[in-house]
Chain A
Amino acid sequence: SYVLTQPPSVSVAPGKTARITCGGNTIGDKVVHWYQQKPGQAPILVIYYDNDRPSGIPERFSGSNSKNTATLTISRVEAGDEADYYCQVWDNPSGHYVFGTGTKVTVL
């Protein structure tokens, strides 16, 4: 089965840039989506199709995807960005959806 690997945690100072990686075998050939989940809440979609933002998501959130790594970038980090972040792909051969292991972003 397809596996997506994320760093367990990322720490960043307010106003700086946070980068969260998502590693997978030739993930660059797939479409990657990213979710933000705050404690006690359901996830919300923050990036779809590698680098598109749903309405209401700040431009500070962006994504990229190439070869074996996808990246979610949060610019000018704010305290409210502190949350768990998950990448996700659809694995075409199996028809299964796969989530990454998740990254906890801490704002210092």
Chain B
Amino acid sequence: EVQLVESGGDLVQPGGSLRLSCAASGFTVSRKYMSWVRQAPGKGLEWVSVIYSGGDTYYADSVKGRFTISRDNSKNTMYLQMNSLRAEDTAVYYCAGEDWNDRGFDYWGQGTLVTVSS
């Protein structure tokens, strides 16, 4: 059974940093196209970042230069390092996976809440 489990969400002050983790079971993260998708309270879905199976990475303009996506193949885990956090980064962060590029996100975690507030 495929399962994605996010962790690392927390309350952090503006300007602070946080690292989210997405641990996978039932498939190999390095063979999938893995993304982070966020949802602000009461708002819609917003794509944040993707790491391709080949290692290429892309970022939404709203987070480029502040967030870094990575993975640890030995731990079958994907990460999102978030720096210079702003109030508008407050959201539930989901990890999501595709079997290949533009196949649609078949796999979703349950989400982890990040709150940026003083």
Contact = CB atoms under 8 A, between A and B. Distances in A.
Contact of A90 (B45, B46, B101, B110): B101
Contacts, number: 59
Contacts of A102: 44-45
Contact of B61 (A1, A31, A35, A49): A1
Interface centre among A37, A94, A96 (most CB of B within 10 A): A96
A58 B18 CA distance: 40
Contact of B104 (A49, A94, A101): A49
Interface stretch (A15-23, A40-48, A75-83): A40-48
Nearest to A30: B102
A102 B37 CA distance: 14
Interface size on A, as a range, is: 20 to 34
Interface string B40-63: 000011110010000010101100
B47 A99 contact: yes
Interface string A59-94: 000000000000000000000000010101010001
B79 interface: no
B9 to A, nearest CB: 14
A35 to B, nearest CB: 7
B44 A45 contact: no
A43 B105 contact: yes
B93 to A, nearest CB: 11
Nearest to A47: B104
A43 B108 contact: yes
Contacts of B37: 97, 99
Given A48-B103, A97-B47, A99-B47, 11 more contacts: A31-B102, A33-B104, A45-B104, A48-B106, A84-B44, A88-B47, A90-B102, A96-B47, A96-B58, A100-B44, A102-B44
11 contacts: A33-B105, A35-B105, A43-B105, A45-B106, A86-B45, A88-B45, A90-B102, A97-B37, A97-B47, A99-B44, A99-B47
Interface of B: 35, 37, 44-47, 50, 56, 58, 60-61, 94, 96, 101-106, 108-111
